[in-house]
Each structure stands twice: as structure tokens, then as C-alpha cells.
Amino acid sequence: MPDKVDLVVARPEGLYCPPGDFYIDPWRPVARAVITHAHSDHARIGHAHYLAHTDSAGTLRTRLGADIDLQTLPYGEVIEHHGVRLSLHPAGHVLGSAQVRLEHGGRVWVASGDYKTEPDGTCTPFEPVPCDTFITESTFGLPIYRWPTQAVLFAEIDAWWRANAEAGRASVLFCYAFGKAQRILHGVDASVGPIVVHGAVEPLNAVYRAAGVVLPETVRVTDPGVDAALLKRSLVLAPPSAQGTPWMKRFGNYADAFASGWMQLRGTRRRRGVDRGFVMSDHADWPGLQQAIAGTGAERVFVTHGSVQVMVRWLTENGLDAQGFKTEYGDEDDQEAPAAELAAGEEQAK
């Protein structure tokens, strides 16, 4: 059981701040919820009051309803609630993603939410926040996970798209509609050809554009002027749920690929049934997790979702007080984790 000095404890509803009487990313309905970002495993319907970063307003209202009771804060602005000083700080995960800093009784805790440490141009880059206790995700908390740089990643995607366009094939890239799709749009060479997006992607593109993120022109298959000749040169961004649906028949003899951190594992591309895999994640890789945790200066670390046991063991071996928090988080990357290969990876980490 947590002792009385803990600023955040695990309850059935989610991570709870006892002195402040609010929750961080709760998975069951509560009176007051602080939301780190708008992915569906962290932002759920049914809370009486939401607090999130200003740039999360568009995605939260798009996904949860325009009439939610939503209060927003810019990064770094401090509010006080029941004696707890609360502020939001950049997490670098997706647009509006935030770490939650709590200060009370001379102690400082930070809950990371989901984060990545390499800037991608579509959201405010991650900033380490000094604290006594850090609550970190660990989705890719194994030494095997090391992401390519942005430059290398997009050179690979551009080359694949260009080769397909020259061969008269559409390039269908399956990616998560919120976050990954906008990173791809921002990073690819739009001069290669037209870009077509699934109907699930375009409303989120509009939110990013409204926030000032530069994205190239995109069309949908139903837009005027979109014909077979255009589609044969196009990059098509679609959520994984579109795979195998009638919507895909519009593209004829297309090449396909999947963008995910799990593409670094053997066999994932084969199970996905695609031609190509691109290693891309909006979560920190193993070096990124180490860098972020060290940057906080925290002596106590709680680890949530992903490879919790491996990360806890590594932190403990490096002199930190570490333990896991059981949560219900897990976005599309987490759900795609191949159990057998993760087990093998954990064995290598021992």
C-alpha cells in the first residue's frame, strides 16, 4: 500500500492524486480528470470535468464530443487546486501531449503520459521536468528498440513511394490516424505525387492545421478529380482498420506498408500481411526512455504499461527506487505487441 506521502496512487478508476482529489488519465468516469493527450486509452468519455493542454482541445472535442466540460492550459502555466500546484509540460508524443507536474508539501511528482524524445515538427518537443518522483511509460522498454532518425525514416518512405509511383502503383501506408498520419504528412517529400487520406485521418489533419502545423495538401478518394491515374501515383494514408475492407479496392494493384515501432521485430510485417514495414513510433525507444528518466533527476520512478518488469529491474540496478503501476493504458502500438517476440526480447534484456 502507498504511504501518506504519495502524491499519486493507483485506484480502480485510474491514477489518483489524494490531496488534489483528481485523476490523471482515468479509465473509468470520475469527477475531475487531467488528460495528458487525446489518444483513446488516455482520454475517455464520461468524466464530469476535463483539464488538458490548449492544443488538445480540438482532438478531444472531435473524439469525445464538442460539449465536454473542458478547461485548457498552455505549457508551463500553474494552477492550484486544493493546495496542489499543477502545470503541464511538453511530452513530444502528439499534438497537445503533456506531462503533468504536481507540487505539494515540498514534493514534486511528474506523470509523463506517453512521450518521445526526438522532435518531429508536429508537436512541441519533449522537455525533461525536474522532480523527486517520475511516473514513466515503458511501451518500448527493451534494449532492442532503437528508432531510426527522422531523416533516415523519411528517406526510406520517400524512396518506397517514388519507386511505386514510377511503376504505376499506389503506395498504401497503414498508420494510426492521430499522430502517426500527421508525422508522415509533415515529413514526406510531397513533390513525389498526390497524397490521399482515409476519412478517419482528414478531421485530425484539420485540427493540426488549425494549430499551425504545416501539412501538405491531401485529398480523399471521393473528392472531385480523384481518378485512377492520380491514385496510381499517390501515397495513401489509412488506419490499420481499413486493411482488407472494400475501401481498399479503389487502389487496384497497390503496394502496402505498415508504420509501427513493432516493425523492428522479426515476423511482425509477415503477420500484418504487408509488403514493407517502417520502424516508426510516437513513443520513446530504449535510449529515449533512459535519457528522459535521467533528465528528471528523480530518485523514485513508477513505471506504467509496456515492459514494466524489465524497466523496473534496469532502474533498480542503476540505484533508483523503482516499481510498477498497473494501468489500463495501451494504444495501437501496445496492442500490436507480438507476445512471443516480446518475451524473447525480455529474455535478451536479462
Is residue 161 within 8 A of residue 232, CB to CB? The reply is no
pLDDT of residue 327: 80
Of 261, 279, 297, which marks where a domain is finished? 279
Give the residue numbers spanning the domain of 286: 9-145+282-349
| 88 & 52 share domain | yes
Looking up cell 502545423 gives 213
Domain assignment of residue 323, yes or no: yes
In the predicted model, is pLDDT for residue 140 greater than 70? yes
Q: Is residue 2 part of a domain?
A: no
- Overall average pLDDT of the 113-134 stretch: 97
Say if residue 41 is in the same domain as residue 76. yes
- Give the mean pLDDT of the chain: 92
- pLDDT at residue 76 in the model: 98
CA nearest to 322, candidates 307, 336, 311: 311
The number of CA neighbours under 13 Å toward the Cβ of 31 is 5
* pLDDT tens digit sequence for 260-314: 999 988 667 666 778 999 999 999 999 999 999 999 999 999 999 888 999 999 9
Judgement on whether residues 178 and 265 belong to the same structural domain of the protein: yes
R_g (Cα) of the chain, nearest Å: 21
pLDDT, average across residues 188-198:
98
Same domain for 305 and 179: no
Q: Residues 262, 240: one domain?
A: yes
In this structure, the answer to whether residues 179 and 211 fall within a common structural domain is yes
Q: Report which of 291, 317, 318, 289 is spatially closest to residue 304, judged by C-alpha positions.
A: 289
Confirm whether 221 is domain-assigned: yes
For residue 253, being part of any structural domain is answered with yes
**Is the pLDDT confidence value at 345 over 70?**
no
pLDDT at 326: 81
Backbone angles phi, psi at 212, to 5 degrees: 95, 5
Dmax (CA) of the chain: 66
Residue 334 binned pLDDT confidence (cut-offs 50, 70, 90): very low
pTM over 0.75: yes
For 172, residues 6+ apart whose C-beta sits below 8 A from its C-beta are 236, 238, 248, 251, 254, 255, 256, 257
Query: Between these two residues, 324 and 341, which has the higher pLDDT value?
Result: 324
Averaged pLDDT for residues 324-342: 55
* Structural domain includes residue 1: no
* Percentage of residues in the chain having pLDDT higher than 70: 91
Q: Does the structure show a pLDDT above 80 at 204?
A: yes
Is pLDDT of 205 > 60?
yes
Query: What pLDDT, on the 0 to 100 scale, is given for residue 348?
Result: 38
Q: Residue with C-alpha cell 501531449?
A: 97
Residue 303 lies in a domain: yes
Q: Does residue 159 share a domain with residue 266?
A: yes
Q: What is the CATH number of the domain that holds 70?
A: 3.60.15.10
What is each CA distance from 131 to 11, 84, 107, 277, 320, in whole angstroms?
22, 15, 8, 38, 13
User: Quick one: average pLDDT of 187-211?
Assistant: 97
Number of folded domains in the chain? Answer: 2
Least confident of 2-16, 106-120, 298-312, 320-334: 320-334
pLDDT tens-digit profile of 61-108?
999 999 999 999 999 999 999 999 999 999 999 999 999 999 999 999
- pLDDT of residue 337 exceeding 90, the answer is no
pLDDT digits (tens, 9 = 90+) for 43-64: 999 999 999 999 999 999 999 9
**331 vs 41, 43, 223, 282, CA distance in Å?**
6, 11, 31, 10
102, 110 Cβ separation under 8 angstroms: yes
Tell me whether residue 3 is in a domain: no
Give the 3-state secondary structure of the chain.
CCCCCCCCEEECCEEEECCCCEEECCCCCCCEEECCCCCCCCCCCCCCEEEEEHHHHHHHHHHHCCCCCEEEECCCCCEEECCEEEEEEECCCCCCCEEEEEEECCEEEEECCCCCCCCCCCCCCCCCCCCCEEEEEECCCCCCCCCCCHHHHHHHHHHHHHHHHHCCCCEEEECCCCCHHHHHHHHCCHHHCCEEECCCCHHHHHHHHHCCCCCCCCECCCCCCCCHHHHCCCEEEECHHHCCCHHHHHHCCCEEEEEEHHHHCCCHHHHHCCCEEEECCCCCCHHHHHHHHHHHCCCEEEEEEECHHHHHHHHHHCCCEEEEECCCCCCHHHHCCCHHHHHHHHHHHC
Indicate if 124 and 229 belong to the same structural domain. no
Given a contact cutoff of 8 angstroms between Cβ atoms, the answer to whether 77 and 68 are in contact is no
Do 120 and 179 lie in one domain? The reply is: no
What pLDDT band is residue 328 in, cutting at 50, 70 and 90? confident
86 and 193 share a domain? no
What is the chain's length?
A: 350
Q: Is residue 4 part of a domain?
A: no
Q: Are 43 and 25 in contact (CB under 8 A)?
A: yes
* Domain-terminating residue out of 227, 256, 279: 279
Q: Is the pLDDT of residue 126 over 70?
A: yes
| CATH number of the CATH domain containing 164 | 3.40.50
C-alpha cell at 103: 507540487
**80 and 187 housed in the same domain:** no
Residue 217 has pLDDT above 70, yes or no: yes
Domain boundary among 228, 251, 279: 279
Q: So what's the pLDDT on residue 329?
A: 76
Q: Assess whether 95 and 161 both reside in one domain.
A: no
Q: Which residues pair with 103 in a beta bridge?
A: 85, 108
